[in-house]
Amino acid sequence: MSRELIVVLLISPLVGFLINGLFGKFLKGNEKLSGGIGTLAVLVSFICAIVAFAGVQGGAVLEGDAGVLYEWIAGEGFTFNIGFHVDALTTVMLLVITGVGFLIHVYSIGYMHGDAGYTRYFAYLNLFVFAMLVLVLGNNYLMMFVGWEGVGLCSYLLIGFWYERQSATDAGKKAFIVNRIGDFGFLLGMFTLFAAFGSLDFTAIFGAAEADTFQKVFGGSTLVIATLLLFVGAVGKSAQMPLYVWLPDAMEGPTPVSALIHAATMVTAGVYMIARSAVLYELAHTGQVVAWVGVLTAFFAATIALTQNDIKRILAYSTVSQLGYMFVGVGVGAYASGVFHLMTHAFFKGLMFLAAGSVMHAMANELDMRKMGGLKAKMPITHWTFLIGALAIAGFPFLSGFWSKDEILHSAWGSHPAIYVIGLITAFLTAFYMFRLIFVTFYGQSRVASAVASHVHESPPVMWVPLVILAIPSAIIGLLLGWGGHGSAFHHFTESVFKAAKEIGNGAHGEAAGSAVPFMIISAIVGLVGIGFAWMRYSKRTPAAQPGTALHKLVANKYYIDEVYNAVFVQPIKNVSHYLLWRVVDTGIIDGIVNGVAVAIRIIGGTLRRLQTGVVQAYIVSMVVGIVIFLAYYLFIS
C-alpha cells in the first residue's frame, strides 16, 4: 500500500468540497452536476479504501516514517507531523466511512432534490467525509484531533443546514459547544501525553508506554489521567452521559446527515479513539470507567427512547444507547467486538435513518408516528428494509446486530456481571422500542391526515436502491464475519491491531471464558420477547397522546436534563457575565477607576487653578505667608 493511494483517498472528497464550495454559483440549478461531483468524490475514496483493505489483508501496514506526509508544527523539542497510519482497524473505518458515505450521497441526490441549498449541502457533506478520513487516518493524536474538530464543524454546519429555522441553528450551536467541552478534555489529554512521551505519535507513545519508559508527569496516575481526559473527548463526540444532550437535537438536520454523521460515522469516533489507544487503556486500567459510562448511557437512553413519538428522535436515542454498547465493548477489553458493533451499527442504523427519511419524504416531512400507521402497504420497500434494520438492532437471531451485540455482552459477563445484566435489560428495551416504532408506523390503521394521505408513495429508485443495498449487510454481515464469536473472521482480521493490548490485559478480562452459545440463546430470547411485547401493546393501538403516570411524564420529558443544564449552567453564566462582570466589574469598577482618575485630576486642576487669580496683592500675601512659615520652620523646629 502506497502513501499516494491514501493521499488520493483523502484528497478526493476535499476536491469535491472545493468544487462545490467555490464554484457552487456556476453549478446552481444543475443538481445532477453538483450531486454527481460530490458522489463521485466519495466513490473514488471508496475504491481506494477497497484497495487499501486488500493491501492490509496482504499484511501491508502503513505506519512510522513511511506514512509521514509533511512536518506540520515543529520547533525546538517538538515535532507534529501530518502522516498516516493504516492498519486493519483503519481500513474497517475507511470502508464504513466511504462505503456507507457513498450510499448516503447517492440517496441525498434524491432526498435533497429541489432544495435551495443543494450545492452547499454536497459541499458540506464532502467536507465531512474529508474530515472524518483525517480523523481515522492520522498517525498521531494531534491529527486525530484535527479531524475530530473538523467533523464537529461539519456536524454544526449540517445540523443548522436550514438556517432560517431557529430550532435548527440552536441545535447546531449546541452540538458544537457541547463537543467543544469534550474537546477541552481531549486537548488536555494530549498535553498530558506530550508531557509524558514528548511526542503525540501513536507508535512512539504505545511503544514507550509498553516499555514503561516515559516521564511520570503525574506519578503513577499519569496514564490514568491521560486516558480519562481523552475519554472526556469521546464522551462529547460519541454522545455519552453527561454530554449526550446534543445528539437528539441534532435531528434538526437533513435526514441523510443524521444517517451518515449522527449514526454511522462521526459519533463512533470516540469508540475508534479508544480502540486505537487500547494499549494505554489497558495499562491504565481505565476501561472499567469507559464500560460503566457506556452501559449506563445505553440503559438511560433506551428508557427515553421508549417514550418518544418522533421517529428520528427514537432513532437518535437508540444511537446514543448503541454507542453505549460499543463503549462497553472497548471498555471491557473486547476491542474487536466493540469495533464490530460499530460496523454493523453503521449499516443497520444508517439504513433505518434513510428509511425514516423515506417516510418523511412521503409524508411531507411529518415525523410524529402517531400521525402515521399502515404505511406498509403504500411503501413496501421502505417497510421491508426498515424492518430488517429493526430486526438487526433488536438482536433477532442471525442478523448482524445479534452477533456483534452478543459478543459484547458475552465479554461484559467476564468483566463484571452487573454490566452484563444492565446490557441485557437494555437489549430487551431496544427490541421493544424499535418494534413499537415499526408497528405504530407501518402497521395498524392509517392515521395519516387526509391532505397528506393521497400523496403517500414509495420513494424514487435513487433513494430506495441505497436502502436495499444497506439492508444486505445489515442482514448477513454478522453471519459472514461474526460466526465463531471471538474466533470469527472479523477478530482474525483485526487481531494484529489489538495484539499488544490483549497481551497486557491478559487475565484482567475473562472475556473468552466459557461457551458463547448459552449467551446467544439468552440474548435471542430477550430480543424476541421484546418484539413480542411491542406486538401485544402496539400492533393495534397507538401511543397515548399524553403521558399518563408521573414516571412516564418524567421520562417522556427526557428527565428534564436539558432544563437542568439550562438552569444550572447556561442562565447563570449569561447573567453573571452580563450583570456582574460587564455592568458592575467592567463598566462600574475598572472603567470607573480609570475615569475616576481623570475626573480627580480635573477636579484637582480646577481647584488649583483658582489660586491663579491674577490679583497681584493675593500673590504677595501668599508669598509673605510662605516666607513666614519657612522661617518659622527653620528657626524653631530644626
Backbone angles phi, psi at 218, to 5 degrees: -115, 40
Rounded to a whole number of angstroms, the minimum distance from the CB of residue 539 to another protein is 43
Contact between 195 and another protein per CB under 8 A: yes
Q: How far is CA 477 from CA 336, 383, 593, 637, in A?
A: 15, 20, 71, 106
Contact between 183 and another protein per CB under 8 A: yes
Task: Please select the residue that binds another protein; options are 36, 113, 191, 447, rule is CB under 8 A.
Answer: 191
Nearer to another protein, 194 or 396 (CB): 194
Write the single-letter amino acid at 189: G
Identify whether the C-beta of residue 401 lies closer than 8 Å to the C-beta of residue 344. Answer: yes
Binding segment toward another protein, per CB under 8 A, in 192-200, 353-361, 440-448, 494-502? 192-200
Residues 28 to 87 in contact with another protein, rule: CB under 8 A: 70-78
Contact between 619 and another protein per CB under 8 A: no
Contact between 187 and another protein per CB under 8 A: yes
**Sole residue written with cell 461474526:** 482
Give the binding-site size for another protein (rule: CB under 8 A). 52
Contact between 177 and another protein per CB under 8 A: yes
The dihedral built from the CA positions of residue 442, 446, 450 and 455, taken in this order, carries a sign that is positive
Contact between 26 and another protein per CB under 8 A: no
- Give bridge partners of residue 86 from the DSSP assignment: 62
Residues 126 to 155 in contact with another protein, rule: CB under 8 A: 142, 145-146, 149-150, 153
Please give the grid coordinates belonging to residue 327.
463503549
Nearer to another protein, 79 or 496 (CB): 79
Contact between 232 and another protein per CB under 8 A: no
Identify whether the C-beta of residue 291 lies closer than 8 Å to the C-beta of residue 328. Answer: yes
Nearer to another protein, 6 or 134 (CB): 134
Nearer to another protein, 66 or 195 (CB): 195
Rounded to a whole number of angstroms, the minimum distance from the CB of residue 80 to another protein is 9
Backbone angles phi, psi at 82, to 5 degrees: -95, 115
Nearer to another protein, 43 or 584 (CB): 584
Closest CA to 395 of 448, 432, 342, 355: 432
- Interface map 90-129 toward another protein (x if CB under 8 A): ----------------------------------------
Helix, strand, coil % in the chain, rounded to nearest 5: 75, 5, 20
State the DSSP code for 543. P
Contact between 566 and another protein per CB under 8 A: no
Contact between 13 and another protein per CB under 8 A: no
Nearer to another protein, 503 or 586 (CB): 586
Task: Please select the residue that binds another protein; options are 115, 170, 210, 458, rule is CB under 8 A.
Answer: 170
SS3 per residue for 555-610: HHCHHHHHHHHHHHHHHHHHHHHHHHHHHHHHHHHHHHHHHHHHHHHHHHHHHHHH
Rounded to a whole number of angstroms, the minimum distance from the CB of residue 397 to another protein is 45
Backbone angles phi, psi at 394, to 5 degrees: -75, -5
Residues 568 to 597 in contact with another protein, rule: CB under 8 A: 573-574, 576-578, 581-582, 585-586, 590-591, 594
Q: How far is CA 283 from CA 280, 300, 552, in A?
A: 5, 29, 43
Closest CA to 531 of 383, 432, 419: 432
Please give the grid coordinates belonging to residue 39.
458522489
Contact between 164 and another protein per CB under 8 A: yes
Q: Which residues bind another protein (CB under 8 A)?
A: 70-78, 142, 145-146, 149-150, 153, 156, 160, 163-164, 166, 169-170, 173, 176-177, 180-181, 183-184, 187-188, 190-192, 194-195, 198, 215, 217, 573-574, 576-578, 581-582, 585-586, 590-591, 594, 598
